[in-house]
Structure 1
């Protein structure tokens, strides 16, 4: 039995009507993830070291992000940067995370250095940064790096955080 195009079209329209205009339809490919090239900026002018404002160097670079999503709030992928590193990226509850280890990050008085855990946390923001906007190509958040307790023979850890911005360029 042949099915006419009108019947197929009516079925697609019914699926959209029942599930809403943003729901996936068989054969559709929703773009819930972050894919493309972005300019990433960590703003050192507003950095905090152990919760005290302290200028750090600002860093700007290019990130190439590729993600796949099984649901609007369940995405994973990889970030490749012109800073020379790559790391996994994932979304949890509408917030994106990139985590990586930074070798020789926390300097010790004896000249050695311990590692740090760097975490980028960001979300798509509206123009005035007052609310989440899932359609925005500008993402705002935080770049934080934490030393490891016990580094340098002390339980004191170094913690640096600064504002982070990611803007899509393609």
Structure 2
């Protein structure tokens, strides 16, 4: 029994030394919620198109975010972008925020084919960095190609107001 207790104490001591470990459980719900204006940047310099690096345009916008948390694991809210869209915001697992919305006419097709929509997901950390990924996928079969167009870019939010 003493050995198990020693291992348990060592595990807790090691966990206490890991930066950020357990920080959300000690945080108040108000400190986790995102509220205010943020600069949202999707860095096209490091974009991947269909999983291969391919330079894309960097996209910067301003998001107005309103959210509330009932506890450090249960947060939700709304993002309104100056690009003209609005979407739900949710915290998953206490450590990652998700925003998803559809982008009309996202994939431009040549040869007179109609443009295809894209489904865009922003996934970013709930820590002070607010960094993650902007991931957009078009439907298979769009533009006459039997595969999805996938564009993934590094993403970062910075509070501006």
The TM tier, using the shorter chain, reads 0.7 to 0.9
SS at match of 1:61: strand
Specify the structure having the higher radius of gyration (Cα): 1
Q: Which has the higher helix share?
A: 2
Q: Which runs of 5+ in 2 are unaligned?
A: 1-24
Question: Residue 27 of structure 2 contacts residue 72 of structure 2 at CA under 8 Å; is this kept in 1?
Answer: no
Task: Please list, as runs of the form range in 1=range in 2, the aligned pairs for 1:131-146 lying within 5 A after superposition.
Answer: 134=127, 136=128, 138-146=129-137
- The TM-score with structure 2 as length reference comes to 0.77
Task: Please list, as runs of the form range in 1=range in 2, the aligned pairs for 1:1-170 lying within 5 A after superposition.
Answer: 22=26, 30-93=30-93, 94-111=95-112, 112-124=114-126, 134=127, 136=128, 138-170=129-161
CA RMSD, 1 decimal: 1.9
Using the TM superposition, give the Cα deviation of residue 169 of structure 1 relative to its aligned residue in structure 2, in angstroms: 1.9
How many residues end up aligned between the 2 structures? 135
Q: Which runs of 5+ in 1 are unaligned?
A: 1-20, 125-133
- The TM-score with structure 1 as length reference comes to 0.73
Query: What is the alpha-carbon distance in structure 2 between the residues aligned to residue 77 and residue 155 of structure 1?
Result: 36
Per-residue CA distance 1:16-40 (angstroms, 9 max, x = gap): xxxxx9476xxxx733211111111
Query: What is the alpha-carbon distance in structure 1 between the residues aligned to residue 39 and residue 108 of structure 2?
Result: 29
Per-residue CA distance 1:72-126 (angstroms, 9 max, x = gap): 12111110111121111111011000000011112233331111100000004xx
